Amino acid sequence: MNEKIRGSGCMQKLKKIPTSLPDIFFIEPTVFSDSRGFFFESYNRRDMQQVGISERFVQDNQSSSAKGVVRGLHFQAEHPQGKLVRVLRGSIYDAVVDLRKRSPTFGKAIGFEIAARDFRMVWIPAGFAHGFLSLEDHTEVLYKTTDFYYPEYDAGIRWNDPNLGISWPLAQYGISSAIISEKDAQLPLLKDIKSPFESGEIPS
């Protein structure tokens, strides 16, 4: 998936790849690779603006997870966060749910794999719940956010809500059962929460 270009005279470019949810898309950077290793710009504000991301990022979060760990599905009820997600090591099955009440895709969920070896990132704007399943041991995920973390507004939806229809690939990767924090295991189903984005507007 990554483009390998020898030398360093080419201008940095980003490839935008859509998904079935209109506002969610992958970003594939140009990677310069040779016998020494590789180099790429993991973030360039000017290039991000060219693919439609004009938001300002204020916080970076990094996690390490054992194989089978599920984190999410999380969102902030106020001060919602847009997230630019990439995998530094290993691979994940990433999942998002549209929580914007007036959106034509409200309640729709999609999932996809992201691996460090592919260098892909995914853009998840504010108004979506987000979570992932670690597919390998020592998987490291880094994501930039457009707002700070506020514990008092921390919220979420249960990762295995049957109405979401997320096909978590546990068996495919030899995972007998997901590893969930006590907090995430007690998250409500989507039908049992009131969307914080009832008006369709994303609060700041």
Residues labelled as active-site residues:
74, 143
Six token digits for residue 79: 């001060």
Long-range contacts of 53-56 (CB under 8 A, 24+ apart): 53/27, 53/84, 53/123, 55/82, 55/125, 55/146, 56/146
Tally of CB atoms within 10 A around 40: 15
The alpha carbon torsion through 168, 173, 175, 179 (nearest 10 deg) reads: -60
